[in-house]
């Protein structure tokens, strides 16, 4: 299949970059064509384009993109020319439904990845949000994606657990991108240029995850305009072009950007402030404040163009949560609680374009995730005096990754992408009770991977993308092979048939109990020598249709057999080191429907998804897996039917309204079917002699054999353009759960009084916010 010539006869090639004339930001997925020919391409997410196999002659090169004025340039190509043309595009004002070429349309024609959705900053910001805009919350409204509950922004993709998703920020892996126990993601929406979400069937370029890939690309920064110096004096080397921010009831966000010599910079920072407001409250009451909680994050990017062919990019991210409280003055038992967690990432990328045939991207990155919990409990007893108990839990991943990606634009039929990646990990997970180490797991595995894939277009209408990923995981004595295959066939200019198949392996996972209702943080662990890698196959088939200029529809079905998965062993023996987990398998299948409108006064989408998932484990190790024993069950993320409607309507130049409706089946849970009395343990290894059977305990039914009531929520928002003090700004009013529908989070069982109480999720909740820009 790869036996092809480097060029066709004496044909020529052109390449170049597209950018915004006012900001210097790259223009993604613009249409570049040679007028009156069938030759053309689209720019990638760096604004780069290549057109190959052009016969010698004179042509009109035309560039088109929604929101920008079209550019035409006459070019003359001699035999075997290799010319570069960089263009800066001016914005234009759209009139009504005047749309020629959109980024969505270009992705439809040029992209092979079948289960792919792109969200722009506009898509993210126009949907009603909980307190403030959040890219993860927007993704949860897509078909095939769910939230575990209102309190979690983690992504549940086609029934898979959140740790099966690869989260990349500017190519850097982020392990726990959540604040406030998962309520908010750590990425500032204003700093995002593009979010590409591969819900399934992703190509060989991505590995060590089995469900999905989220690629978040941050803004590059405005390299064109300076406010402070206007390219005079220091302005030749550094300046500020724009500052914008947002104030909400949760936090304050500031983003600044500007040019540097031969490049640009961008910096965004966010911090909660209700801990500071709480300090004022306690100060006014003249009372001590014995607790604190805050989070903050920062995100930055620095770009330096060494030459027109060579660029350096430095990206950084830091996010942290801190919780602390002290209970002591009113209680005999004093509790001192300290808990913090977060991510820190840094990367340096070198992009080199020696000619129009090759694009090389070399990067080295470090990402560090830490979770640190310290609890000290002091008991005051008149007989035994003061006793102190300390509990310490620490989890860390320190990940150094170096990778090289090479794109080879062989011809108009073939684009070959190959890469090599080395991931060196230092992982620690410790639990300590007083001075006794209860758990100390330290591993330093590495993952060495290589891949190759070919985007092959044998005909104008058919594109095929075969690929292979090969990985060596140091804790396993074997080589893992992961073949991937995808195709897209244009049945007509507006209708495409698409499909994909792949084998996916995962070597890291999170230690979470299947019965946990709320996972505050993730405990990451490597898969050890005595367990196999998590393994999954994906079969995907679908069709997609363009209706008119800006309506897009997609129908997609999938089948995902889990060849191997892991869960905590409920019958583990503490004296045995290697039975903490149990291996099993499972099956997930379903289909999704998406109808999306990408431009005009009304934008948004309607998405419906059907899901059926099942897991199988031999919990009692009798060699048989029996449903009646709770060994075959629906996992906690199983939701058969989900409907989401997202809409934004521009009333006029100043006002717009947003609407979101979410409706789905309730998630499964393990019900309590009765209770009994058991020994009352008043201390470790001790039982009460006065009434040894005074403690009520629950008797549980089969695992996940019941479901919570259906989920229903409507959110609405109003946004108005305002100009306080001469600034450009927006006032936002958002109402979460406007119907005040009660959505069940859990059931609280009071066994002594024989009462069951339902605990709900978000009630009706109005929030306000203000954006400003200067």
**DSSP output for 485-532:** EEEEEESSSSEEEEEEEEEEEE-EEE---TT-S---S--EEE--TTSP
* Beta strands 82-84 and 12-20, pairing class: parallel
Higher pLDDT, 315 or 114: 315
Q: Which residue from 460, 455, 461 is spatially nearest to 495, judged by alpha carbons?
A: 461
Amino acid 623: pLDDT: 85
- Asked whether the predicted pLDDT for residue 490 surpasses 70, the reply is yes
Amino acid 109: pLDDT: 66
The proportion of the chain whose per-residue pLDDT surpasses 70, expressed as a percent, equals 88
Regarding pTM above 0.75, the answer is: yes
pLDDT band per the 50, 70, 90 thresholds, residue 698: confident
User: For 708-720, what is the mean pLDDT?
Assistant: 93
User: Which residues, 6+ apart, have CB-to-CB distance to 492 below 8 Å?
Assistant: none
CA distance 189 to 244: 12
pLDDT band per the 50, 70, 90 thresholds, residue 173: very high
With DSSP H G I counted as helix, E B as strand and the rest as coil, what are the percentages for the chain, rounded to 5? 5, 60, 35
User: For 172-193, what is the mean pLDDT?
Assistant: 81
CA distance 140 to 143: 8
Sort residue 544 into left (φ over 0), alpha (ψ -120 to 50) or beta.
beta
3-state secondary structure 125-189: HHCCCCCCCCHHHHHCCCCCEECCCCCCCCCEECCCCHHHEEEEECCEECCCCEEHHHCEECCCH
**For 178-187, 292-301, 329-338, 342-351, which range has the lowest pLDDT when averaged over its residues?**
329-338
**Per-residue model confidence as pLDDT tens digits over 29-59:** 888 989 888 888 888 888 999 999 899 999 9
User: For 175-180, what is the mean pLDDT?
Assistant: 82
pLDDT band per the 50, 70, 90 thresholds, residue 225: confident
Q: What is the DSSP string of 366-389?
A: EEEEEEEEEEEEEEEETTTEEEEE
**Per-residue model confidence as pLDDT tens digits over 540-577:** 999 999 888 788 999 999 999 999 999 888 887 766 76
pLDDT band per the 50, 70, 90 thresholds, residue 360: very high
- Asked whether the predicted pLDDT for residue 198 surpasses 60, the reply is yes
Average pLDDT, whole number, for the chain?
85
Report yes or no: 712 and 741 within 8 Å, Cβ to Cβ.
yes
The 10 Å Cβ neighbour count of residue 737 is 22
Burial of 301 (0-12, 13-18, 19+ CB in 10 A): buried
Q: Is the dihedral of CA 164, 170, 173, 178 positive or negative?
A: negative
Higher pLDDT, 329 or 217: 217
CA distance 179 to 198: 23
Q: Is the dihedral of CA 248, 655, 730, 601 positive or negative?
A: positive
- Asked whether the predicted pLDDT for residue 8 surpasses 70, the reply is no
3-state secondary structure 648-692: EEECCCCEEEEEEEEEECCCEECCEEEEEEECCEEECCEECCCCC
- Please give the torsion angle defined by the CA atoms of residues 142, 144, 147 and 153, in that order, rounded to the nearest 10 degrees: -60
**For 182-186, 247-251, 744-748, which range has the lowest pLDDT when averaged over its residues?**
182-186
The proportion of the chain whose per-residue pLDDT surpasses 90, expressed as a percent, equals 45
**For 156-165, 296-305, 427-436, which range has the lowest pLDDT when averaged over its residues?**
427-436
Higher pLDDT, 617 or 122: 617
Question: In whole angstroms, how far apart are CA 505 and each of 44, 275, 514, 562?
Answer: 28, 43, 21, 10
Residue 770: strand pairing partners: 247, 731
Six token digits for residue 110: 């040029």
**For 275-279, 301-305, 612-616, which range has the lowest pLDDT when averaged over its residues?**
275-279
Six token digits for residue 82: 């290799």
Burial of 752 (0-12, 13-18, 19+ CB in 10 A): exposed
Report yes or no: 70 and 61 within 8 Å, Cβ to Cβ.
no
User: For 343-349, what is the mean pLDDT?
Assistant: 95
User: For 581-610, what is the mean pLDDT?
Assistant: 92
User: For 395-411, what is the mean pLDDT?
Assistant: 95
Report yes or no: 256 and 242 within 8 Å, Cβ to Cβ.
yes
**For 76-90, 276-290, 332-346, 677-691, which range has the lowest pLDDT when averaged over its residues?**
677-691
**Per-residue model confidence as pLDDT tens digits over 135-171:** 888 888 999 998 888 888 888 999 999 899 999 999 9
Higher pLDDT, 182 or 29: 29
* Beta strands 242-248 and 212-218, pairing class: unpaired
Six token digits for residue 126: 């126009």
Range with the largest mean pLDDT of 3-12, 91-100, 312-321, 545-554: 312-321
Amino acid 98: pLDDT: 46
- Asked whether the predicted pLDDT for residue 697 surpasses 90, the reply is no
Specify the DSSP element, H or E, that contains 110.
helix 103-110
The residue with tokens 């941050």 is 218
- Asked whether the predicted pLDDT for residue 712 surpasses 90, the reply is yes
CA distance 1 to 409: 16
**Per-residue model confidence as pLDDT tens digits over 628-675:** 888 999 998 899 999 999 999 999 989 999 999 999 999 999 888 877
Burial of 8 (0-12, 13-18, 19+ CB in 10 A): middle
Q: Which residue from 521, 510, 199, 463 is spatially nearest to 342, judged by alpha carbons?
A: 521
């Amino acid at each position: 299949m790869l036996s092809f010539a480097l060029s066709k006869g004496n044909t020529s090639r052109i390449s170049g970059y597209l950018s915004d004339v006012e900001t210097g930001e790259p223009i993604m997925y613009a249409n570049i064509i040679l007028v009156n020919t069938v030759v053309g391409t689209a720019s990638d997410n760096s604004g780069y384009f290549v057109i190959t196999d052009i016969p010698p002659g004179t042509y009109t090169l035309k560039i088109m993109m929604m929101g920008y004025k079209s550019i035409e340039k006459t070019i003359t190509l001699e035999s075997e020319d290799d010319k570069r043309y960089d263009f800066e595009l001016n914005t234009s004002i759209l009139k009504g439904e005047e749309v020629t070429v959109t980024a969505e349309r270009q992705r439809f024609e040029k992209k092979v990845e079948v289960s792919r959705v792109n969200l722009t900053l506009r898509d993210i910001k126009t949907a009603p949000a909980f307190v403030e805009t959040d890219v993860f919350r927007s993704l949860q409204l897509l078909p095939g994606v769910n939230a575990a509950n209102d309190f979690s922004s983690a992504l549940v993709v086609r029934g898979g657990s959140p740790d099966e998703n690869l989260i990349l920020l500017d190519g850097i892996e982020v392990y726990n991108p959540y604040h406030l126990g998962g309520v908010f993601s750590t990425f500032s929406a204003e700093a995002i240029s593009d979010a590409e979400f591969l819900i399934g069937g992703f190509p060989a370029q991505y590995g060590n995850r089995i469900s999905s890939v989220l690629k978040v690309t941050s803004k590059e920064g405005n390299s064109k305009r300076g406010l402070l110096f206007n390219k005079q004096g220091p302005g030749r080397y550094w300046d500020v072009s724009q500052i914008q921010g947002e104030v909400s009831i949760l936090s304050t966000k500031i983003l600044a950007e500007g040019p540097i010599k031969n490049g640009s910079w961008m910096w965004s920072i966010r911090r909660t402030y209700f801990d500071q407001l709480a300090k004022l409250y306690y100060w006014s009451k003249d009372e001590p404040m014995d607790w604190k909680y805050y989070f903050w994050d920062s995100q930055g990017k620095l770009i330096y163009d060494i030459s027109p062919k060579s660029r350096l990019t430095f990206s950084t991210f830091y996010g942290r949560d801190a919780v602390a409280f002290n209970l002591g003055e009113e209680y005999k038992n004093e509790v001192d609680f300290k808990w913090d967690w977060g991510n820190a990432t840094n990367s340096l990328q070198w992009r080199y374009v020696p000619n129009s045939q090759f694009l090389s991207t070399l990067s080295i990155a470090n990402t560090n995730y830490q979770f640190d919990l310290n609890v000290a409990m002091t008991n005051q007893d008149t007989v035994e005096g003061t006793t102190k108990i300390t509990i310490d839990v620490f989890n860390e991943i320190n990940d150094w990754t170096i990778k090289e990606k090479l794109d080879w634009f062989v011809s108009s039929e073939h684009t070959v992408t190959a890469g090599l990646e080395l991931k060196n990990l230092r992982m620690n997970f410790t639990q300590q009770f007083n001075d006794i180490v209860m758990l100390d797991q330290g591993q330093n595995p590495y993952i060495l991977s290589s891949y190759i894939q070919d985007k092959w277009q044998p005909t104008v209408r058919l594109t095929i993308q075969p690929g292979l990923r090969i990985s060596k995981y140091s804790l396993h004595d074997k080589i893992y092979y992961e073949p991937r295959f995808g195709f897209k066939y244009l049945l007509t200019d507006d209708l495409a048939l698409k499909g994909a198949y792949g084998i996916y392996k995962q070597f890291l996972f999170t230690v979470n109990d299947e019965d946990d209702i709320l996972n505050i943080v993730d405990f990451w662990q490597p898969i050890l020598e005595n367990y196999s890698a998590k393994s999954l196959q994906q079969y995907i088939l679908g069709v997609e249709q363009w209706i008119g200029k800006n309506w897009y529809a997609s129908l997609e079905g999938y089948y995902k057999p889990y060849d191997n998965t892991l869960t905590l062993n409920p019958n583990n023996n503490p004296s045995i080191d290697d039975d903490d987990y149990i291996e099993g398998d499972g099956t997930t299948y379903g289909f999704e429907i998406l109808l999306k409108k990408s431009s005009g006064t009304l934008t948004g989408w309607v998405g419906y998804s059907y899901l059926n998932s099942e897991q199988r484990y031999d919990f009692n190790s009798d060699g048989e897996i029996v449903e009646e024993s709770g060994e075959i069950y629906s996992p906690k993320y199983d939701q058969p039917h989900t409907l989401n409607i997202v809409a934004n309507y521009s009333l006029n130049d100043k006002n717009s309204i947003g609407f979101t409706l979410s409706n789905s089946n309730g998630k499964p849970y393990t019900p309590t079917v009765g209770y009994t009395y058991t020994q009352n343990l008043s201390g470790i290894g001790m039982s009460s002699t006065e009434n040894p059977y005074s403690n009520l305990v629950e008797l549980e039914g089969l695992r996940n054999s019941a479901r919570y009531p259906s989920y229903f929520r409507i959110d609405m928002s109003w946004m108005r353009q305002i100009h306080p003090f001469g600034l450009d700004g927006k006032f936002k009013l958002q109402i979460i759960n406007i119907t005040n529908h009660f959505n069940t989070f859990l059931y609280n069982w009071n066994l002594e009084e024989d009462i069951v109480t339902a605990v709900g999720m978000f009630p009706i909740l109005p929030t306000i916010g203000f954006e400003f820009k200067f």
